[in-house]
Chains A and B, each alone.
Chain A
Amino acid sequence: MSETAIQIRNMNKFFGTFHVLKNINLEVAASERIVICGPSGSGKSTLIRCINRLEEHQDGSINVLGTELDDNVSHIDQIRREVGMVFQHFNLFPHLTVLENCTLAPMLARKTPRGDAEAAAMRYLERVRIPEQAAKFPGELSGGQQQRVAIARALCMAPKILLFDEPTSALDPEMISEVLDVMVSLAKDGMTMICVTHEMGFARQVADRVIFMDKGEIVEEGAPADFFGAPRNERTRQFLNQILSH
């Protein structure tokens, strides 16, 4: 059994009085690929945002790569350096070039010298197949290109875990596959990944485990074959019918 990357125990989260995440227990092994799906408002984005403290949980414990996620700022910084995140709306820094977007965090948070940071950035930009855009600003790129830059930016911190928060939901249909291709190739290289996505084809192809959430709870989880072939829970069946029927 490989080592544990993320361990979430009895975690609860509230937005004011609204109970968003209810008693979440989740263990993610290193190099494991997990896809989280569920209807909107089910708490799936909130769950992965708790892992790098973009959202604070109120109860239970989260341990990431052996570091306990608590109010200790140095723990939070430690975890954020090791956990990369890709957002639905890319969130590239519009006032910086593509290359600067990629080198900023390694130079500031890891104190990497500029030369090394730029060499690494070019390597990752090649990996997502847009090295020729390095000198451009994000606003000059298409959505699919921007999302690939966002993935390269996350990779530049050499994270051990990557979180994807609906990375293809804001893209035009013809650009989805260029982003998914990059994600598939990352999965093949053994990156630990948690993806919130509705791309069920992607889930079938790369996921070790698919998790279905509804109303703030993990309703069902299993290997893709079991999950799609024989969902046990009624809510899972309904959801799969809805998104697979069109």
Chain B
Amino acid sequence: MSVDTLSPLPGRKQSLLSRLFSRPLDVVISVTVLLFAASVLWQLSKWAIIDAVWTSPDATSEVCRGVSGACWAVIDVRWRLIVFGLFPYEEQWRSSLACIVMVIVAILSCVPMFWTAIRLSALWIVGFSIFYALMAGGVLGLTPIAPDKWGGLTLTVFIYAAGMLIGMPMAIALALMRRATLPVIARTTGIIIDSVRSLPLITILFTAALVLPFVLPEWLLGDKIWRVILGFALFFAAYEAENIRSGIQALPSGQEEAARALGLTYWQRTSRIILPQALRNALPPTINQFVISFKETSLIVIIGFFDVMASGKAAYGSGEWSFAWVEVYVFVALIYFIFVFSLSRYGAYLERRLRVGQH
């Protein structure tokens, strides 16, 4: 037999077929499962696409009467409420622009070109300034709009971005303080972290929004939205600090020793040797924490903020569309999915990138 006639390795399709249909029992199981999957998929696409109603010409729910498929018309009619919340209708272009600015800043800060302290801070300062000017108004002839009118996806994105941006430096500080050589600092930090972790986020948000006004003097209060963001950041920081600490703990003691032997100071050792490696080690749990925190933003509804989840609920809540709650929740879920899935894909990219040349 010549070399040419030897069969090549079976292709992916061939090997899949032979694995699923090699023995009689395999055939039975495979066929049953495939039929079941196909029927589910058929039902689903019939509901979501084939029998669905996409638009409502007169902006009422009449078009969906007696239709067996999904009534996506509710999204068509009410998407502004979901995305912008109670933001005044004629000013909603500001909210959408602000949301886009925030997302663009977030995407840009994921690009390695911006990874210097100056560029990153400049980027976020500019980003937040534009966002705030657009949302709050009062400058450049924009009508002032109070934060309790902000809402929807824009509010979710804002609270999340601000919370993470304040929370991450807090987390690093807590992690370093917990490893301080002075026992007083290390133990106090430990107690702070443990206390925050043992409270539910709802309690912290509730305290920040409703209890603090009774405790703090007027000048220290600030707007409710900032107290809520700080509470959110603190909650994130307590968990993330432990992730970072685990990353530091995983470093061999020789790293710190070599840096000390070279005459580097504490801050030089920390910023150049310890943290870059520790943050890389802590990347998977960190992404995890970021993902969890994004979904936790929906809790701000209990203190009167209309995030994307709450305004979604408002979108079907007004009698006329109350039958279409599934469609609205599917739409909101899709928004969450897009954000969280991009985040986890970015995490995977970072892991690949940071592994270069290291074993």
Residues of chain A having any CB pair with chain B under 8 Å: 52-54, 77, 80-81, 83-85, 87, 89-95, 97, 104-105, 108-109, 136-137, 139-140, 153-154, 157
Tell whether, in the assembled complex, residue A80 and residue B263 are in contact, meaning their CB atoms are under 8 Å apart. yes
Return the contact of B258 from the options A81, A91, A140 (Cβ within 8 A). A91
B262 touches A80 (CB 8 A): yes
When chains A and B are docked, how far (Å) is the Cα of A92 from the Cα of B262? Answer: 11
Chain A residues whose C-beta falls within 8 Å of the C-beta of B317 in the assembled complex: none
Q: Whole-angstrom distance from the CB of A71 to the nearest CB of chain B?
A: 13
Q: What are 6 inter-chain pairs, A to B, with CB distance below 8 A?
A: A80-B262, A91-B254, A93-B259, A93-B277, A108-B272, A136-B357
Contacts of A137 in B (CB 8 A): 356-358
Which B residues from 243 to 281 make CB contacts under 8 A with A? 252, 254-255, 257-265, 268, 272-273, 276-277, 280
Question: Is B357 in contact with A105, judged by CB distance below 8 angstroms?
Answer: no
B359 close to A (CB within 8 Å): yes
Besides A87-B254, A109-B268, A139-B359, 4 new A-B residue pairs in contact (Cβ under 8 A), listed by A number? A80-B260, A80-B263, A93-B258, A104-B262
Would A139 and B358 be within 8 Å (CB), given that A77-B265, A94-B277, A109-B264 are in contact?
Answer: yes
Of the candidates B255, B261, B277, B356, which one forms a contact with A80 in the assembled complex, judged by CB atoms under 8 Å apart? B261
Contact of B257 among A84, A91, A139 (CB under 8 A): A91
Q: Which of A54, A77, A87, A136 contacts B263 (CB 8 A)?
A: A77
Contact flag A109-B261 (CB < 8 Å), given A89-B252, A137-B357, A140-B357: no
Q: Please tell me if the beta carbons of A105 and B262 are within 8 angstroms of each other in the complex.
A: yes
Identity of the chain B residue whose Cβ is nearest the Cβ of A136 in the assembled complex: B357
- A109 and B264 CA atoms in complex are apart in Å by 6
Question: Which 6 residue pairs across A and B have the least CB separation, nearest first?
Answer: A137-B357, A91-B258, A91-B254, A105-B262, A80-B263, A81-B263
Give the distance in Å from the alpha carbon of A140 to the alpha carbon of B358 in the complex. Answer: 8
Q: How far is the CA of A90 from the CA of B255 in the complex (A)?
A: 9
Known: A80-B260, A80-B261. A104 touches B358 (CB 8 A): no
Contact A95/B261 with A136-B357, A137-B357 known, Cβ cut-off 8 Å: no
Which single member of B252, B257, B264 contacts A105 (CB below 8 Å)? B264
Query: Does A94 lie within 8 Å of B261, measured CB to CB?
Result: no
